[in-house]
Structure 1
C-alpha cells in the first residue's frame, strides 16, 4: 500500500493564470482569493515582457472547507477574468492525479516510479501499468498495481494495439508516463487520449539516434551524458521540455557503465518531471514550458 504523500495538501488550491501581461493581474487575483476567505501560501509569476508580453502565474492558497467553496471560487474567477485573454485552471491539491504508466522491457524508470509512489514521494495514484512485454508483470503486481499486457502490433500499423490501450486508459487517467516505452505513439492515439503524455529519453538525441546510443556515445568519446523529460506531441521527441540533467563521464567509462549511469539520470529526471506535473508546476506555452 502506498504511503500518504506529503505533497497532498488538504484545503489547498492551486490556481494557474496565463495570458497577455497587463497591470493589475496580481491585485485582481489576490483580491479574489481574499474575498473568498483564502490565504496565499505560495506565489510565483513570470512575464517575458511587461508591456503586453506573455504572463504566467501560479498561486497556492489555503481555504477551510475548500471542496465546498470551489464552485463559488470558480464562478468568481469566471466573472473576474471575463473579457480578458487570461486563461485559468484551479485544482484541489488534496486530490491525487491518476497516472498510468506505459513500459517495455527496460524497467529502471518503471520500478523507480512505483517505488517513489509507494513511499509517498509522488502525489498520484497509479491505476495501471500497460506494457508490450510481460517481463515486469510480477514486479508491478508486487506494488499492488494492476498490470496489463498489450503486445505491439507487428509492422508499421500499430492501430490495433493502440486501440486496446485506449480502451484501458480512456476516462481512467489524468496523464500518462512513458517509462522507456519503446513504441512511437501515433497522432490519432494522442488526439483520442486527450490527456498529457510525459516521456523520458537520453539526451544524446538527435546525435545518437536508433539502437545502442551508449555504444555510439562511447565510440564518439562523449564527456557528458544525461536525460530529457518532455511532453509528447506529434513531432517525435520534440515536445515541450519539462526537465533535463547531465553528469560528466570519461574515456575510462565502459559502455555498460555509461548505460548504468545514464539510467540513474533518467530515473531522476523523469521522477522530477512527474512530481512537478502532478503539483501543477508546469505551464505549457507553445513548444516550451514555464516550470515554477
Structure 2
C-alpha cells in the first residue's frame, strides 16, 4: 500500500524557453469514469463512449537535449522492446514530422503499473511529444501533436489536449468536460489483464445503445458503469475479489480493461482511511481527480 506522491508542477513554465537545459515533466494517470462499448467496426476496433479524467499521480519524464540527434531512454522497461516503447516512438515520430535533428536523453521514473488501465504508456508518449516540442523549440499546435499521438494509440490524444473529456469513436473524438474532482482509492490486484483478450471475448457487451454526452453528465457518477467489467471479473478471479472487497465499502468501478479498479470518496481523509484497510497482497494508493492535466500546468499551455 502507498500514498503515491502528487505530481509536482514547477512554479515557472519550463516549456516557455525553447532548448532549455532540461525539463522535468509529469505524465499523469487517467481513469475511465464511464466506459460503454457501442459497436464493433469491420477492422476489429470497437466504438466507445467514455469519460476520461486525470489524476494527480503518475510517471515523471526528465528530458535533456542532445545536439547529435540521438534519442536515448533510461531505464529499459522489462518486457518492452525498444521498437515498441511509446516514448521512443513518440520522439522519433516528432523528429520525422518536424524535420529537426535534435535529440534527447530521456529518463523515465515509472510509478504507474504497466497494463493497469491507468493510461501510463499513452501518458508517457504524450509527455514526450509535448516536452520535446518545448525542448526543441518547435511550437507545434496541440491539434497537430494530438494527430501524431493518435498514430501511437487511441488514448494518447486526450493526454495531449490535457483536459477531462467525453470521448467517442475509438476514444479519439474528444469534447472537453468539467467533472467532479473527488478523491479516489485505486487498487491494482497484482495480475496482468490482456486488453486484446477482453475485447475479443465473445461474451463482451458490444451493443450498448449510444447516449449523448449531456445525458451521461446529467445522470452523474451513480449511473456510470464500465462494459468491460463483467468480462474481466469472469476471467480474472483476483480482480473479481478486489472488486467485491472494495464495492462493500464505496462505489467501485474498473478503469479501462483493468486490472486497476477505483472507488470514489468525498474527502482525502476518507480515502486514506480506506487505504489503511486494503489487504497487503494488493498495491493501492490514493489520488485526486483533476480536470486539467498537470502536464499542461507545468508547460503553461
Tell me which structure has the larger Cα radius of gyration.
1
Higher relative contact order (CA 8 A, sep 6+): 2
| TM-score calculated relative to the size of structure 2 | 0.23
